Structures are given as C-alpha cells and as structure tokens.
Structure 1
Amino acid sequence: MTLSWVRTEPRGLTVTGLPNSLVGAATMSAMTLRVDAGEYDPAAMRLELDGEPVTGAVDGSTVVYRPGALPDGEHKFTAEIPPSFLGFLRTGPGVSKTFTVDNEAPTLELTQPTGVTSYRQPVTLRGKAKDAERVSVGNLSATPADDGSFEIAMPRAQTGAQVVAVDAAGNQTAQTITAAIEQPRIKAVHVTAYGWSDDELREDVLNMARDGRINTVQLDIKDEDGEVGYDSQVPLARESGAVMRIYDAPAALRQLHDMGIRVVGRIVAFRDKTMAEWAWQNGHQDWVIQTPSGEPYSSRYGPIAFTNFANPEIRRYNIDLAVEAARLGFDGIMYDYIRRPDGALSQMHFPGSTTSPTVSIAEFLHESRDPVRDAGAEQSAAVFGVASTRPEEIAQDIPLMAKYVDYIAPMLYPSHWNAGEYGVASPNSQPYDIIFRSLQDFRTQTQGTGAKVVPWLQDFSLGVSYGPGEVRTQIDAANDAGVNGFFLWSPTVRYHLAGPSD
C-alpha cells in the first residue's frame, strides 16, 4: 500500500468572536478571536490568516488573536495543534473559519425638512441611503427601497438629531438634522402673572397685539420668588406651596392664540426662594446651594434663594413645570436664572455635583430639551450679557448651552453694562452701540449650534430716562445686527412701544 499526503480541514478546536454575517469596519477593528485549546497545550497552537502565519497571545487555556483592519473580501482563519508524531493522513486538532469583510459604509443623502413651524407638527423625513438595510432617527427607523429612498414619519421635528444609515456589515453613515423650526420674527413683551391678572395692564398688552406692535407675549409660569402663577398640577409645586393661582393659564392661552399671538412661558429656574426654603425645612438640604460649611448660600437675593441645579429632584421639578405648560399650549418655554449665584465659586457647594457648574447648567438644558419639545414647545434660555465674554462668572457657556435650545435670549439692558464694555464709553447713554456690538458677539458664539439669538431689551429707566425713542433705538440695533426679533422687559409691565416695530 502506498501512503499519500492528504491534508484535511482541521477539527476539534472551537473559536469564538466571529460574527455570523458580514464583518464591517467598526466590528473588524474591535474583533477579538479566542481559540479554546481544550485539553491541548495552547502554547503549541499555530495560527494562520489567509495562509500566512500570525501570532496570538496565550490567555489561560485559550489563544487570543486580534486581526485589526483587513481589506474587503473573503478571509480564512485557521488554528491548529500540530500532531505529536508525523502524520501523513491528518493534521492535529484545529479549527478553520471563513468570513467576509465589508469596509464600505452606505451613502446617505438627507433632504432637510422645510416649512416646519412648531414642535406640535408631524414631520416626514426623506432621503436616500444606498446599500443600507436600515435608516434610523432615535427609536424610529425605516427600510430603504431598492433605489435607497426612505421615509421616516416623525411626530415632531428632530432638530439636532442624528440620522444613521446601517448596512448589513454594520457600517454606519450619519448626518445631523440641521433644519430648525421656522420661527416668525419675535416681537414680544414680558408680562408677570400679576400683570396679566390686572385688567388695565392686560388690556395695554392686548392693544399692542391688536395693532401689530407685538406678536408674542412672554408670560411668567414661575417667577423670581418661586411662585407658580396658575393652578399647576405638578405635585412638588403643590406640596411646597408654590402654586398661587394668580391667573387662568388655559384662558390666557386661548385668548392670545385666538388673536394669533404666540405665548412663551418664563420659568425662573434656580433662583427659587419658595422651593429653597421648603426643601431646607423638610429634610432636603441637598436641594439647596450651600456654603462649604453646609449652610444655605446667602446672596443678594436673600439668605436662602438658590436651589441646587445639580440635584436631580430640582431639575425634574423645573422640567415638570415646563412640560405641563407646553401641554397646556405654551408655544415656548424660556428658562431664566439658569445659572449659579453671583459671587466667589470657592464659597459655594453644590451637593451631589460631579462636574463644573458651567457644564451642569448645559446638561440641565440637554435633559430638558426633548421632554419640552415632545410636549410641543420650543426651548430657550435667558442669559447674562457678559456670558459671551465671561462664561465662568455665572456658569453660562453660550456655545455649550446653545446646542440644546432653539434660541438664546441675552439680557442686554444698556443700564447693566460697565463703562467701556465692547468699547462703548457709556452704554446706558449709547443703547444702539452696546446692543449692536454685543449682539455681534452672541451671533459668533452661537454659530454652528443651530440656535438663534433673540435679545432682551430695556424698557425701564435706571440712571438714564428711557422712553419710546430709546426703545426704538434698541430695536433698530437688534434689526441691524441681524437677529430674530426682541423681548422687551419692564418690571411694571408698562411699555413704550410706539407704532409698528418692524
């Protein structure tokens, strides 16, 4: 009998770590193959990839091999224990596996949605994803047609969300939805809860709406004292005694909406005397900003006025109010006092905080954004004018915050600027100059974030008498700066907005 050399496929070892389907680039870069040597000596194991020897690492009774990047196409991996004697009829125990690598990601062409004016409006996202087997936005997905076209029906606009196309090998291509809600140019005045409940003041505001001087009313939901102006059903608002029932929110919304007027609800977030005092007295001291010695932090707003923005319960309380208001019909939610108190940071302690106040404030906006939008409202933040140049002063980083809002609303009151800011010698006497120059900075700070800029302007006298001329000058400066309108602030809810403001 004549013996001939016969090499058969090795058997008897097991390999794990190989997917059952195509292997994509991301999977390939992280792929780890483990060959179990069983009763054999793993140090004797020989490995081959595509017929060439490769080296693995012994780990207990297994040998570990990481292929790294490989070119497209079929590849063969073999692991074998050599026979302990010359074997012409068989190899030693081993294992052989073939797999196919596909490194090319699908192409993705996204048609940005247009004509979307509200988060209450359903949106259909369209595009083409060649070679993709699935396209998704969050938990919504679609299977592309043969030509790659797809449609995803979304309950609302998903500005800032990632659209991800995935092929059979797991390769991904992503694009961001950059289309923002198409807001009308905002022409707004601020109204307190007590101002709206006053017949004379309310009628003055309605007259401004009737003759086209304003198209938006900004109405307090929770004010600087922490009082909630309408009959909120948020449990913590009721338990803490914050609910004051000053005005009828559904009736106010109905009246203004019937006139074609949008309503932005203002929530004073973390300056909240009512909640801070209640929390401190009811065993929730960690809900309050403290001194390093563990006492409530005292500020110019009072001995216990600021809640702890790092606390999950305080965050949830403000978000619950925002969501409730959005569901009632408020078109937008604006957070005010979304910052730390003034003063030296070394004298403040934020129980439970694991990051800087600046990052924590932005994280709150991130946490709030989707719940507020899901409830149908836009989200915005009122910020200090100096936040664009001195973000750490009150923990307001404009580029960071802007990623999570529809617009930033800087409070640019000329009376609040120091002499020489932005090269303006006397800001209070030069309202056009300080408004125009600071807005240029805010536009730069928000560039690429998707957020618009809508400034707060001054309609009160502090050091310099302000009337219709000064108000008009500020509005002209905002128009010339190319921003999306204005909000006027008067603490007495009496305004000097004479004639159309376009």
Structure 2
Amino acid sequence: MRRNGQRIGTWLCAGFAAVAVLTACQGEPEAPLEFAGPEDGTLFNADTLGEAAWEVSSDDGVPETVGFVLDAHAVDADRDAGTLRWSPDTLDDGEYHLAVQRTPVETDDEAAEPEVLHEWRFAVDATPPEIELISPDSAVVAGEPVVVAGTTEPGAAVTVADQETTADQDGGFELELTDAPEGELQIVAVDAAGNSSDDAFTLVTVPSRVEVDLVRSVHVTPHAWATPSFRERILAMVDDGIINSIALTLKDEGGRIGWNSEVELAIESGANEGVYDLEETIAFLHERGIHVAGRIVAFRDPKLGPWARDNGHLDWLVQTTDGEPYTGRYECCFTNFSHPDVIEYNLAIAEEAARAGVDDILWDYIRKPDGPRANLVLEGIPNDEPLEPAIIEFTRLADERLSKYGVRHGASLYGIAADRPTQIAQDVPGMSQYLDYVAPMIYPSHWGPGEYGVADPNRQPYDIIDATLQVWKAQVEGTDTRIVPWLEDTTYRAWDRPHQVREQIRAARDQGVEEFLMWDPGVRYTPDAYDTIPQGRDE
C-alpha cells in the first residue's frame, strides 16, 4: 500500500442546502482527506489481490457521505474513527475502476451528481496459464536434441529444464533441449500477472529409430536371423534396394520369445529362447537404415498356455464346454484374449521391444481359434456374446500402451476377415480405429477355387490379390489406417515362384498399395522377383 499524498480540503457545509449552509459555514473547515492504495494501473493475481487495500483517511474522520464505488456500484468498506478501508475478497478476471465519491445531501436539485474525489484503475488476472504440450508427442531418440513446443498464455515465461523462453502473441512457445534426460521433466509457465502453472511430462527415449514411408518387408524368424548365411541373404536384399524392412519375429507360434525377455511370465513359463540379443540386433539394423517390424504371435501360445493350466489359471485359456483347454487343431493352448493377465503379458513383451527401439509392433493371432463360437468358453465373456469386441479392445489397449514410444502397430488378419468377421472374430473397421495398418494375409495359395470370382487363385495371383484388396480398401475407407498386405514368396503350391511374386506385387501396386510384408516360413526368398524401391520413396 502506498499513500499518494493527495489531500482535498472540504468544508462541513459542502453540498448542503442553502439554509444549512448559513449555519454550518460559520464553522472551521474539516481536515483534508488523504487517499492511499496500490499504484494506479496495477495488475493483480490471486495472491496480490488478497493483500490489496484502498483507504481514505482524515484527522477529523471520514464523513458518512464519502464511500467507495467499484465500476459504478457501491461496495461495503470498513469504517473506523479516522479511516475508510476497502479490501476485495475475490474478483473475477478483468479491468476495474475504483472511485472515492461524496454522495450529495438531499436537496431540491434532483440532478445533483456524486462528486468523485479520487479514482484508481486496476486489473485482475487470477487464472493460472494453461499449458498444452504439442511436442514431443512420443519417444525421442536418446542423445539427440528434442524440441519442446506447446501453447500457453501469450507473453508467459516458459521454463523447461532450466531453459527459458517467452510465449509469442498467440501463446506458442518452443525451445530445444540438447541433451534431455529420460524421465519426468517439469514445464513451468508464469504469466504477466505472476500466476504460475506447472506440468510434468515424461520424456521417453529409445536407442534409435528408422522410419520409412513405404514398408517393403520380409518375414525373418529368430533362428534365421541368428544364422549367418540366412542373415547375409536378407541384408543383401536391403543392399540391392529391393526391401527396406524386416519383420523380425519376437514371439512365435510356439510361444517362444527370441531374446531373453525380462518379463516375469516369460521367465516363469520358459518362453525365453535367447536366440538373439534384441537391443544389439535393433542397433545393428538401424545403423544400416533398416526398419524393424517386431512380429508378436499373441494368443496362440504353447508356452504360456500349459504353464497357466498347470498353475491353476485355467481361466487364462480358451476352454471347451467341458472345461478343458481348447486345442482344436493347435497344440495346447489358445489363451483367453479377454483376460487381463494374458493381455498384460503380451503388452509387456511389446513394450519391452518398443523400449529396445523396434519401429513397429506387428500383432499376429489376435483372433479366436478355429471352430464354432458355441464350442468356445472364455471366462469374462458370456457364452451368448460375440468375441469381436474383446479383440477390438485389445487393439485399443495396445495402442494406448505403445503410443508414448512412437511405435506404430499393425495386425496380421485373415483374408476372410474383410467380409466374414465373425468366422475369426476380427472386425476390421472396429480394429482399424486403433491400428496404424492392417496386414491382410491374402496368399494366393490359401484361397479356394471361385473365391471373389477367381477360378483358380493360386494360378491367378494377380486376379486374387486385385480382388481381395478391393474388398479390404472398402473396409478401411474413411480412416487413416493403411493396408500393408502379407504376400507370399513360398514353395507351397509354387508353379512359377518368381512370376507369382511379381504378379502379387504388381496387383497390389495397381490397387494403389505399394507396401508389402512378404511371407516365407523358410526365410528363403527370390530376390529376382522384386522391384527396386523408387528413390525418395523409402525415407
């Protein structure tokens, strides 16, 4: 509070009717009024407003006709023998005009106006600035600079990791951290009024990253990658410019994990094979500019299944109506894709791979086992309810879990799922809400005669790929979900293998699909069948 030294001499008779003046004016003049308060034009925040006070004082006391008026409305003030004092409790944000007025004594002059003796203008901004972080929105590569950008109140001072900047006239701010530590970082914004907001965000780092616009990938098993002769053939395909990615199996159809995972259930169930070192493998591939899609076979799991059965977790398994583990045509067992522990196991493996730097997670066997729905019992899903929603929910949970790592994820889906979703519990439009891409398995050798109007799909690879992709494109229309089809380069039913591979790639391209995942369980591909990736389209 400051006293501004302004004094106004007044007379006891001021403003009185003429008769009263004749009597009262014979007295001495009253002591002058003094005004004290914050400096004119002060901007208050919530804390400083609570400490603010404005006063009118006089040695002879402040007349009852003198009071405070805020924006033309009288306010209650504390009055004692020599002082009139007003302190606001709270005020909405905005600009204010505070005046000291003398109210005229009643006279015959109805037009008499209050006399303004003193006035202040001030503003209140008690609202802390909001902070919205725009970047980084996912993991960053360790050791590389990271740009922290977002919006807040215009003109606010923003501090992150001891670096400071000022938000522009639109509230935007941006600063670069040259060596940001992994973990929680504080971001603080202080506006012109001194209001402060702080927010914490977790900066996730990955060892390295390779991004490609168009994925051209081949399937590689753990043992093939660990075998020098197989590995060199794959790397030669990259060097020749015909592929830019490998779909490295992380967890296979046998429930086996290719590296020594630290996930507790992987250790307890004996799933770890330790065929390769995951972090070293990712680093090696990334150094050569090779994108890595980590393939995880989720719910067909002959490792976790028997362990669950033997350890009293039958509810982790798809069961028969007799309460036995359902096998169908699979070895034990098919796990329950609606059970939280089964879901967590698969997501934990995927997250471990994401932390190691895998660029994509490619789910496989996220479906029900073959067989009629009536023969399958999944605890947690009533027997009369469909199974598709549980698979969709898994893709949502996976998307949520992986998003902070900047990892894309896709799903290998049955070719028939596009127009026969209930046969395999794969609802393509529903899953596409949460997947970055779908990978339909549309191998020509797997279609029967007459499918999609193609008399002999295996002998007509162009026609069957062309026809199936038309159906799949309709399923993802209106979304940003890509189609990255599984094609085949196998010996199975191959009558002219290079020709069959070329025709599949050509048919996909003619449908506007320039990406592919190529399948050969034996990991023996035919490089002569592949086109060179167009320059400028792979990175």
**Cα shift at 1:456:** 0.3
Residue aligning to 1:397: 427
Of 415, 437, 459, the match for 2:445: 415
Counterpart residue identity of residue 512, structure 2 = G
The answer to whether residue 482 in structure 2 is matched with residue 457 in structure 1 is no
Question: SS of the residue aligned with 1:333?
Answer: strand
The answer to whether residue 442 in structure 2 is matched with residue 377 in structure 1 is no
- Structure 1: runs of 5+ lacking an equivalent: 1-111, 131-144, 156-180
The answer to whether residue 252 in structure 2 is matched with residue 207 in structure 1 is no
Map Cα deviations across residues 349-383 of structure 1 (whole Å, 9 max, x no partner).
Answer: 01112653101001001011121121231111000
Of 344, 352, 363, the match for 2:372: 344
The answer to whether residue 262 in structure 2 is matched with residue 233 in structure 1 is yes
Question: SS of the residue aligned with 2:325?
Answer: coil
Answer yes or no: is the 8 Å Cα contact 2:317–2:325 preserved in 1: yes
Counterpart residue identity of residue 463, structure 1 = R
Cα 1:187–1:123 shift into 2, 3 Å: farther
Cα 1:125–1:479 shift into 2, 3 Å: farther
**Cα shift at 1:247:** 1.3
Residue aligning to 2:361: 333
Residue aligning to 1:297: 326
**Cα shift at 1:324:** 0.2
Residue aligning to 1:500: 531
Map Cα deviations across residues 97-133 of structure 1 (whole Å, 9 max, x no partner).
Answer: xxxxxxxxxxxxxxx99xx998647787879999xxx
The answer to whether residue 293 in structure 2 is matched with residue 264 in structure 1 is yes
Residue aligning to 1:368: 398
Cα 1:392–1:276 shift into 2, 3 Å: same
Cα 1:324–1:466 shift into 2, 3 Å: farther
The answer to whether residue 509 in structure 2 is matched with residue 479 in structure 1 is yes
Aligned equivalents of 1:153, 1:466: Cα separation in 2: 57
Aligned equivalents of 1:306, 1:476: Cα separation in 2: 36
Question: SS of the residue aligned with 1:427?
Answer: coil
Of 453, 459, 463, the match for 1:429: 459
Aligned equivalents of 1:216, 1:224: Cα separation in 2: 21
Q: CA RMSD in A?
A: 2.9
Answer yes or no: is the 8 Å Cα contact 1:187–1:501 preserved in 2: no
**Cα shift at 1:252:** 1.4
**Cα shift at 1:462:** 2.6
Identity %: 43
Q: Residues 28-47 of structure 1 correspond to what in structure 2 (within 5 A)? A: none
Aligned equivalents of 2:138, 2:245: Cα separation in 1: 15
The answer to whether residue 221 in structure 2 is matched with residue 192 in structure 1 is yes
Answer yes or no: is the 8 Å Cα contact 2:255–2:302 preserved in 1: yes
**Cα shift at 1:422:** 1.5
Question: SS of the residue aligned with 1:273?
Answer: coil
Show structure 1 runs of 4+ deviating over 4 A: 116-119, 121-130, 145-155
Of 297, 310, 321, the match for 1:281: 310
Aligned equivalents of 1:383, 1:151: Cα separation in 2: 43
The answer to whether residue 347 in structure 2 is matched with residue 319 in structure 1 is yes
Answer yes or no: is the 8 Å Cα contact 2:211–2:291 preserved in 1: no
Answer yes or no: is the 8 Å Cα contact 2:250–2:295 preserved in 1: yes
**Cα shift at 1:484:** 4.3
Residue aligning to 2:187: none
- Structure 2: runs of 5+ lacking an equivalent: 1-133, 155-166, 181-209, 534-539
Normalised by the length of structure 2, the TM-score is: 0.61
Aligned equivalents of 2:352, 2:276: Cα separation in 1: 16
Normalised by the length of structure 1, the TM-score is: 0.65
Larger radius of gyration: 2
Question: SS of the residue aligned with 2:303?
Answer: helix
Answer yes or no: is the 8 Å Cα contact 1:120–1:377 preserved in 2: no
Map Cα deviations across residues 426-452 of structure 1 (whole Å, 9 max, x no partner).
Answer: 111111111112112111111222210
Aligned equivalents of 2:138, 2:152: Cα separation in 1: 25
Question: SS of the residue aligned with 1:220?
Answer: strand
Map Cα deviations across residues 310-367 of structure 1 (whole Å, 9 max, x no partner).
Answer: 1000000000000000100111101000100011110000111265310100100101
Answer yes or no: is the 8 Å Cα contact 2:224–2:231 preserved in 1: yes
Of 468, 473, 484, the match for 1:443: 473
Q: How many residues are treated as equivalent by the alignment?
A: 351
Aligned equivalents of 1:118, 1:482: Cα separation in 2: 29
Answer yes or no: is the 8 Å Cα contact 1:222–1:268 preserved in 2: yes
Counterpart residue identity of residue 409, structure 1 = A
Cα 1:146–1:469 shift into 2, 3 Å: closer
Question: SS of the residue aligned with 1:415?
Answer: helix
Aligned equivalents of 1:396, 1:455: Cα separation in 2: 16
Answer yes or no: is the 8 Å Cα contact 2:444–2:458 preserved in 1: yes
Cα 1:120–1:384 shift into 2, 3 Å: farther
Aligned equivalents of 2:509, 2:147: Cα separation in 1: 31
Map Cα deviations across residues 126-153 of structure 1 (whole Å, 9 max, x no partner).
Answer: 79999xxxxxxxxxxxxxx897665699
Question: SS of the residue aligned with 1:429?
Answer: coil
Question: SS of the residue aligned with 2:273?
Answer: coil
Counterpart residue identity of residue 486, structure 2 = W
Aligned equivalents of 2:149, 2:363: Cα separation in 1: 30
The answer to whether residue 245 in structure 2 is matched with residue 249 in structure 1 is no
Answer yes or no: is the 8 Å Cα contact 1:460–1:466 preserved in 2: no
**Cα shift at 1:253:** 1.1
Aligned equivalents of 1:500, 1:276: Cα separation in 2: 42
Aligned equivalents of 2:452, 2:152: Cα separation in 1: 47
**Cα shift at 1:305:** 2.1
Question: SS of the residue aligned with 1:265?
Answer: strand
Answer yes or no: is the 8 Å Cα contact 1:475–1:501 preserved in 2: no
Map Cα deviations across residues 200-252 of structure 1 (whole Å, 9 max, x no partner).
Answer: 11111011111111100110110000000101111110011100101121221
Answer yes or no: is the 8 Å Cα contact 1:453–1:484 preserved in 2: no
Residue aligning to 1:218: 247
Map Cα deviations across residues 232-280 of structure 1 (whole Å, 9 max, x no partner).
Answer: 1111100111001011212211211111001110000000011111100
Q: Residues 54-69 of structure 1 correspond to what in structure 2 (within 5 A)? A: none
Cα 1:279–1:469 shift into 2, 3 Å: same
Answer yes or no: is the 8 Å Cα contact 2:138–2:405 preserved in 1: no
Counterpart residue identity of residue 434, structure 1 = I
Aligned equivalents of 1:441, 1:234: Cα separation in 2: 39
Answer yes or no: is the 8 Å Cα contact 1:290–1:348 preserved in 2: yes
Counterpart residue identity of residue 330, structure 1 = V
Question: SS of the residue aligned with 1:266?
Answer: strand
Counterpart residue identity of residue 500, structure 1 = D
Cα 1:151–1:292 shift into 2, 3 Å: farther
